[in-house]
Structure 1
């Protein structure tokens, strides 16, 4: 990957379908997500198609799936497959993995193997889908391993479109995605880079507080069109958090084309825009020494 050739790095995109056609979510939850994002009938691109999409735009993308088999009973897309397919397109794709903390010591072993043998560059958690509180000591051995591996942990925060409108929300509990629950993790693992994914509705102020207070905590802007960003998020992105806010789209349900078009229209300082779109991610992901 040549960072000088990139215009942006999207730190939040999803692998939604495996090579064999296995989806990342059950049909019921996928339909709920599409309805929530007004992305009815959107295509589920392969990783190769995702690479082509980003290559055409001169951008790079972090790609991951979500392992929530313990709570949802739905097998994930294999992390190894995601990593291998990203490696085939290493000029534009950066593989993250997802491990269910309920897997215990097996998840710890798998984390080490995924980084050492498959080139994984970070890990994605979705507490609401995985049905765990981020500050549960059960997950701490996995965090410790990720900290030792010197790669980031990305946590979904705030409301989720997955299960929205389904009876009982599909059993998915929003409380686990309160970003304040990650404050303990940031304090107990101060050398673990942590990304709070999404504007964290209804806990935006909590996310800003944690990211401002803890040097190892970042925020990605995925999952929302920028025109809906709360004023305080824009204000902090322009000032206190200008080096800790990251571009993310949530592709394919939100495309970077739509996101970037709306981003141009909000009041972000000209000198801050390149930090959000590319420079902060380069530094966090270890793609540059500066």
Structure 2
């Protein structure tokens, strides 16, 4: 992969139409937002995908797939997982000016997870973790297995991203009965937040049901809500700003499985000030990750 990780100047982009003529943000406006994207899944096609981040003026992306103990559902061997991790780490180190790295953890294997955290976060280039695997074991973030993991991450001031969703289903049918057995919903995030009230946590995917998700985490000031990976809904971010405040929201594109049009529309549809948009699109993420980035030698201008 030979992508050079520097945002190209606006003069390199001659758009066929002027976005502002259609009520859309110009690239100059997007660059001014200093966008940090928390949700990037494009490592396998990184060189092909990143020019689109340039075009949209994205300042930094967070890859959620740098390393894991095992692959999806255990289908990837330990040797293959390690080989993938080494390739991803090499790319991360090359792209450190534009990309930050997140690792996946396995809460059913606490000691191995702690070793991975020490190897790749405490003593390596990564800045945080993502939960959500394995989903076939009854260990959500509400489980006590998470306590030593969170304590270690708190010591490192690392990013803690929690895959989260309310899935309707079950018998009898409830608003969370379809959530997979090892998959957290915002209620589980709230339980963890109550045990660690001083540790910043990020509740991912707006809890899938943003009205229920926002209400579940609302009492816990240490929890931020991430908007990514779901269909845009007019009024969703307005509601979250009203209930949580703009300083508790972060943004992700979820590329390549979601588009900039999909994800940015949530923020630009909302009735808020320029300063609030800047917080949501990057300022809040810079604030909570500044310390861990600086430990890695990456300066962060909040």
Question: Where on the TM-score scale, by shorter chain, does this alignment land: which range?
Answer: 0.7 to 0.9
Correspondence 1:91-102 to 2 at 5 A? 91-102=97-108
Distance change (3 Å), C-alpha of 1:206 and 1:79:
farther
Which of 259, 263, 269 in structure 2 is aligned with 1:259? 263
Distance change (3 Å), C-alpha of 1:119 and 1:210:
farther
Given that residues 128 and 177 in structure 1 are in contact (C-alpha distance below 8 angstroms), is that contact kept between their aligned partners in structure 2? no
Task: Tell me how large the CA RMSD over aligned residues is.
Answer: 3.2
SS in 1 for 2:246: coil
Which of 281, 284, 301 in structure 2 is aligned with 1:280? 284
SS in 1 for 2:224: strand
Counterpart CA distance in 1 for 2:151 and 2:136 is 19
Which of 16, 34, 38 in structure 2 is aligned with 1:7? 34
Counterpart CA distance in 2 for 1:238 and 1:271 is 15
Q: Give, in angstroms, the shift of residue 127 of structure 1.
A: 5.3
SS in 2 for 1:118: coil
Matching residue of 1:201:
208
Higher-Rg member (1/2):
2
Kindly indicate whether structure 1 or structure 2 has the higher relative contact order, using CA contacts under 8 Å at least 6 residues apart. Answer: 1
Q: Give, in angstroms, the shift of residue 259 of structure 1.
A: 2.2
SS in 2 for 1:102: coil
Given that residues 51 and 92 in structure 1 are in contact (C-alpha distance below 8 angstroms), is that contact kept between their aligned partners in structure 2? no
Q: Give, in angstroms, the shift of residue 101 of structure 1.
A: 1.4
Using the TM superposition, name which of 62-71 and 208-217 deviates more: 62-71
Matching residue of 1:54:
53
Given that residues 67 and 130 in structure 1 are in contact (C-alpha distance below 8 angstroms), is that contact kept between their aligned partners in structure 2? no
Q: Give, in angstroms, the shift of residue 74 of structure 1.
A: 2.0
| Alignment TM-score, normalising by the size of structure 2 | 0.70
Given that residues 165 and 206 in structure 2 are in contact (C-alpha distance below 8 angstroms), is that contact kept between their aligned partners in structure 1? yes
Counterpart CA distance in 2 for 1:187 and 1:289 is 31
Instruction: Please give the per-residue CA displacement for 1:49-81, whole angstroms capped at 9, x wherever unaligned.
Output: 444432343212110128484871222574443
Tell me the matched-pair count. Answer: 249
Matched, 1:129 2:135: yes
Q: Give, in angstroms, the shift of residue 238 of structure 1.
A: 4.8
Q: Please, which runs of 5 or more residues in structure 1 have no aligned partner?
A: 18-44, 161-170
Q: Please, which runs of 5 or more residues in structure 2 have no aligned partner?
A: 8-30, 168-177, 291-298
Matching residue of 1:213:
219
Instruction: Please give the per-residue CA displacement for 1:111-170, whole angstroms capped at 9, x wherever unaligned.
Output: 01101332111100115736322111122222221111111210111158xxxxxxxxxx
| Alignment TM-score, normalising by the size of structure 1 | 0.73
Q: Give, in angstroms, the shift of residue 247 of structure 1.
A: 1.2
Given that residues 132 and 182 in structure 2 are in contact (C-alpha distance below 8 angstroms), is that contact kept between their aligned partners in structure 1? no
